[in-house]
A = this chain, B = another copy of it.
């Protein structure tokens, strides 16, 4: 995800991977709606839409009086209307392929994953970390042979997750000498190197958290079964054989998460925390043993296997790193920052969103556009998400792994509480309600409680710090309805959206619009201040207008030229003005209402390059001045920029 950003923004980057190949199957498979929105912002959401399984319904099975499982509820999957996209599922290999394809496209085939490369050392010259033109970080990497890069796989012929990827500082005898060594000088390093992160170790960061007793297996199979809801997401609690989660996948594949009450364990070595059992001996887990357990849980339904694609086993634990970076130069992201159980489908998603949050900020600083002060928002914003995730997973995994009951009896959990918890948590798992706190990039009152969302009285349903919600608006010049997200691609630009209201019915609003237009047409405008000479006026901050006047009552010439500027060839830009009106083909309108903006008042909204709302203020010159002040907090005027690239 970081590489997509860097390819898109033209940042000189390298991708170093110790794996010898991409992933081909298995692993993470769930794409939450917010991840799909982000894919869409990079132009490849049509690929999951075509290829993935999409979740719309879920079913709950519990034991009846005879101890046989039976369906107790059919529910909506996800949150209706929260996003244009629904949670989708496909194996990680396919997702990696989309990523490498889009990196190729954006970089003109110049940015590639370099593998297998093992990092050997990371040294930071602390005397240079304030110098934006310096390369304070030195990383030594060595190229491995394919043989050495292959992880220790535990004696199964099938592809599976039962291996320990070796870490860079781990004792290991290489069969062949490294083919080559290279010294890389870098301004920034992002460690996206997994739960056993080598980069994290170099920073001396130790994750905090704990393990549980719960052991689960995963089977990706083409099932032969008479369970009627096999193509819906199912949560199944048996009396005493454990629980199953069913996630239908692309094609005929289904993923089963299966609780393994009787998993083989490693001998005690004293490392396990008091009160917990020793670690599961993952090398003893086989697809057959997992399947055997699944059959017990599913009784009276039957389960056979036509194809096995992948399997693994894991011990549930929740850990989060106390720090996500050091010197604002070396960052960690993804599993390097947070590990937890996979069943909420959050791991890959939240990991992708980590670097989606970080990389444009690094790019801004590298490009000399913004002060390095923005980099501290990465840890502030993403560590809160990680903590929320860990809390969520802690509760979910206990409810999922517990024996079904009312919660009253010793050692049981309440299945009512379980279903209720999933219902309430489903907004969280869509990824669309992530809420960033007040910072130099998010202008809102500071709050202690991260769960309290903030909206300006000007836009009561538009939450500052959350992603700007999607909605269909009508392009003024040609009447085409657009999902506004499709016109806000991830291209590094900030967006300033003037909801100018129904200016054709209000002389006051009309005068405000003229004044705002005059401001942005003047050479003193802050947009001019931050836009390099010779570049398009919208290349750093894009000015967008969303009016609320009646389509039959508004003509193209009614809009100030600031919103429809001509370029150096005198060609007009027709693509910045929208009407919140009914399209002649239907299906639009009520955009103001959805955001809680009054048509007789309006609002001015600042949206970050990653689509999150920075600020809401009044759509007048006073509001524009507030926005100017906000940008002064981190933007560097062109006159003061130097280029370091």
A residues bordering B, Cβ < 8 Å? 43, 46, 50, 53-57, 74-78, 80-81, 86, 222-224, 228-232, 248, 252, 304, 306, 477-481, 552, 555-557, 566, 569-572, 574, 583-586
Contacts and interface: CB of A to CB of B under 8 A. Distances in A.
B571 A228 contact: no
Contacts of A571: 222-224, 252, 306
Count the copies: 2
Contacts of A552: 74
A46 to B, nearest CB: 5
A105 B216 CA distance: 40
B231 A86 contact: no
Nearest to A572: B224
Given A43-B50, A57-B478, A228-B556, 4 more contacts: A56-B478, A80-B584, A81-B586, A223-B571
B224 A570 contact: yes
A481 B56 contact: yes
Contacts of A555: 228
Contacts of A570: 224, 304, 306
Contacts of A231: 477-478, 574
Contact of A56 (B232, B304, B480, B566): B480
A570 B304 CA distance: 9
A584 B56 contact: yes
A187 B53 CA distance: 42
A492 B401 CA distance: 48
Contacts of A86: 585
Contact of A479 (B56, B481, B557): B56
A228 B557 contact: yes
Contact of A232 (B43, B248, B479, B583): B479
A221 B224 CA distance: 60
Contacts of A228: 555-557
28 contacts: A43-B50, A46-B46, A46-B50, A55-B478, A56-B478, A56-B583, A57-B479, A57-B584, A74-B552, A75-B584, A76-B585, A80-B584, A80-B585, A81-B585, A86-B585, A222-B571, A223-B571, A224-B571, A228-B556, A230-B574, A231-B574, A232-B477, A232-B479, A248-B478, A252-B571, A252-B574, A304-B570, A306-B569
A447 B46 CA distance: 44
A53 B306 CA distance: 47
Nearest to A555: B228
A478 B585 contact: no
Contacts of A222: 569, 571
A565 to B, nearest CB: 13
A478 B78 CA distance: 14
Given A46-B46, A80-B586, A570-B224, A229 B556 contact: yes
Given A232-B478, A304-B570, A570-B304, A56 B248 contact: no
What are the 8 closest A-B residue pairs judged by CB atoms, nearest first?
Answer: A57-B479, A228-B556, A231-B477, A76-B584, A231-B478, A56-B479, A306-B569, A46-B46
Contacts of A572: 224
Nearest to A569: B306
A367 to B, nearest CB: 26
A84 to B, nearest CB: 11
A479 B58 CA distance: 9
A645 to B, nearest CB: 29
A542 to B, nearest CB: 17
A557 B301 CA distance: 13
Contacts of A584: 56-57, 75-77, 80
Nearest to A79: B585
A248 B575 CA distance: 13
A228 B559 CA distance: 11
A298 B566 CA distance: 21
Contact of A585 (B56, B223, B566): B56
A198 B147 CA distance: 61
A231 B54 CA distance: 37
Nearest to A568: B306
Contacts of A229: 556
Given A46-B46, A86-B585, A584-B76, A569 B224 contact: yes
Contacts of A478: 53, 55-57, 231-232, 248
A481 B86 CA distance: 11
Nearest to A228: B556
A552 B584 CA distance: 36
Contacts of A78: 585
Contacts of A306: 569-571
Contacts of A557: 228
A175 to B, nearest CB: 38
A471 to B, nearest CB: 16
A11 B582 CA distance: 47
A160 to B, nearest CB: 22
Contacts of A574: 230-231, 252
Contacts of A76: 584-585
A247 to B, nearest CB: 11
Of listed A50, A231, A555, A557, residue having the most chain B CB within 10 A: A231
A102 to B, nearest CB: 14
Contacts of A556: 228-229
A78 B480 CA distance: 12
